[in-house]
Amino acid sequence: MTGKLAGKVAVVTGSSSGNGRAIALALAAEGAAVVCSDLRREAREGGYESDIDRTTDDVIRLAGGKAEFVDADASRYADVENLVASAVGTFGRLDVMVNNAGIFTGLHTIVEETEDEYDRTMAVNAKGVWLGCKFAIRQMLTQDPVDGSRGRIVNIASIGGLVGLAAEPSYCAAKGAVVNLTRQLAVDFAAERINVNAVCPGFLATAMVRPFLSDPELNKVLHEKSPWPELGTAQDVAKATVFLATDDARWATGTLLTVDGGFTSP
């Protein structure tokens, strides 16, 4: 394969659907061997993918790329440790780690939100990213730099990590944690030539957001609040992620790349 990531090895969590799937496909299109991982290999129902009946790793292989699937719950220590070990075992090293897996438990204020909803959100959206960074960095520190980099980490945060989104308390808390963990790790590992950056997407069409988009009132509010005439797509998130995963972003670390059609700009 040719491309900006030819010969590189990438891991993507939550890669079966939505943003993670688009990211895995885009990394593979740039030549990376991609280790796809999720709770299950099949895409979530309710997604907007045109090829939803095929698994992400199958789509990559059918296009002539290299991919494998590893079953991993991003919130579980042993699963994430095994995921990184499996990528290194199969492909020899780890160049790109994309911590994308995330959940959203619905709209409610903190008064109605249950302790279980908070715990689950923090476990996947915050601890999951911490685990992905921990095991990726541990591996990258053992690798000699290639083209000046030991490895690149891209965390998929959200505009919910930058501003308060109405009725999303634990989601915003978790994404705020991802945003500042990204900056903290950038400081600790810049000297080792490990880049740690985040993409902060706005609202876009995936299975996670279908409840908003299929509700006429919520759909109208999202469009009214968006300066850009239409909402974004998973491909917009994927392109920003690929940029941060390549040498094009050589000197970018601790960056929060907002991709939101201007939602957080007013």
Ligand X SMILES: NC(=O)c1ccc[n+]([C@@H]2O[C@H](COP(=O)([O-])OP(=O)(O)OC[C@H]3O[C@@H](n4cnc5c(N)ncnc54)[C@H](O)[C@@H]3O)[C@@H](O)[C@H]2O)c1
User: Least Å distance between CB 138 and ligand X?
Assistant: 19
Strand 96-99 to strand 194-201: parallel, antiparallel, or no bridges (unpaired)? unpaired
Identify the helix (H) or strand (E) that includes residue 57.
Answer: helix 56-62
**Is the distance from CB of 60 to CB of 24 less than 8 angstroms?**
yes
Among 10, 17, 30, 258, binds ligand X (CB under 6 A): 17
Binder of ligand X out of 28, 103, 256, 257 (CB under 6 A)? 103
Kindly state whether residue 261 participates in binding ligand X, applying the rule CB under 6 A.
no
* Cβ nearer to ligand X, comparing 149 with 208: 208
CB 27 within 8 A of CB 10: yes
Interaction between residue 161 and ligand X (CB under 6 A): no
* Closer residue to ligand X, CB minimum distance, 143 or 234: 234
Q: Which stretch binds ligand X (CB under 6 A): 24-32, 62-70, 181-189, 199-207?
A: 199-207
Q: Please list, in sequence order, all residues whose beta carbon lies within 8 angstroms of the beta carbon of residue 108, skipping any fewer than 6 positions away.
A: 117, 167, 169
Q: Closest by alpha carbon to 205, among 223, 186, 189, 180?
A: 223
Rounded least distance, CB 74 to ligand X, Å: 4
Contact residues for 19 (Cβ-Cβ < 8 A; gap 6+): 100, 156, 201, 204, 206, 234, 237, 238
Is 171 among the catalytic positions?
A: yes
DSSP codes of every residue in 76-103: -HHHHHHHHHHHHHHHS---EEEE----
> Mask of contacts with ligand X, 62-101, x by CB under 6 A?
-----------xxx------------------------xx
Is residue 169 a contact point for ligand X (CB under 6 A)?
Answer: no
Pairwise CA distance, residues 160 & 119, whole Å? 17
Q: Least CB distance from residue 75 to ligand X, whole Å?
A: 5
d(CA 11, CA 140): 13
201 touches ligand X by CB under 6 A: yes
Q: Identify which of residues 29 and 204 has a Cβ nearer to ligand X in the complex.
A: 204
How does 101-136 read in b/e, with b if 16+ C-beta sit within 10 Å?
A: bbbbbebeeeeebeeebbebbbbbbbbbbbbbbbbb
Q: Does 207 bind ligand X (CB under 6 A)?
A: yes
Subset of 223-252 contacting ligand X (CB under 6 A): none
**Is residue 132 close enough to count as binding ligand X by CB under 6 A?**
no
CB of 247 to ligand X, least distance (A): 24
156 part of the interface to ligand X, by CB under 6 A: yes
Helix (H) or strand (E) holding 222: helix 216-225
Q: How far is the CB of 5 from ligand X (least distance, A)?
A: 20
Examine residue 127 and tell whether it contacts ligand X (CB under 6 A): no
Is 158 a binding residue for ligand X by CB under 6 A? The answer is: yes
Determine the Cα–Cα distance for residues 15 and 55; give it in Å rounded to an integer.
9
Question: Would you name the residues annotated as active-site residues?
Answer: 171
Residues that bind ligand X (CB under 6 A): 13-14, 16-20, 38-39, 44, 47, 73-75, 100-103, 124, 156, 158, 201, 203-204, 206-209
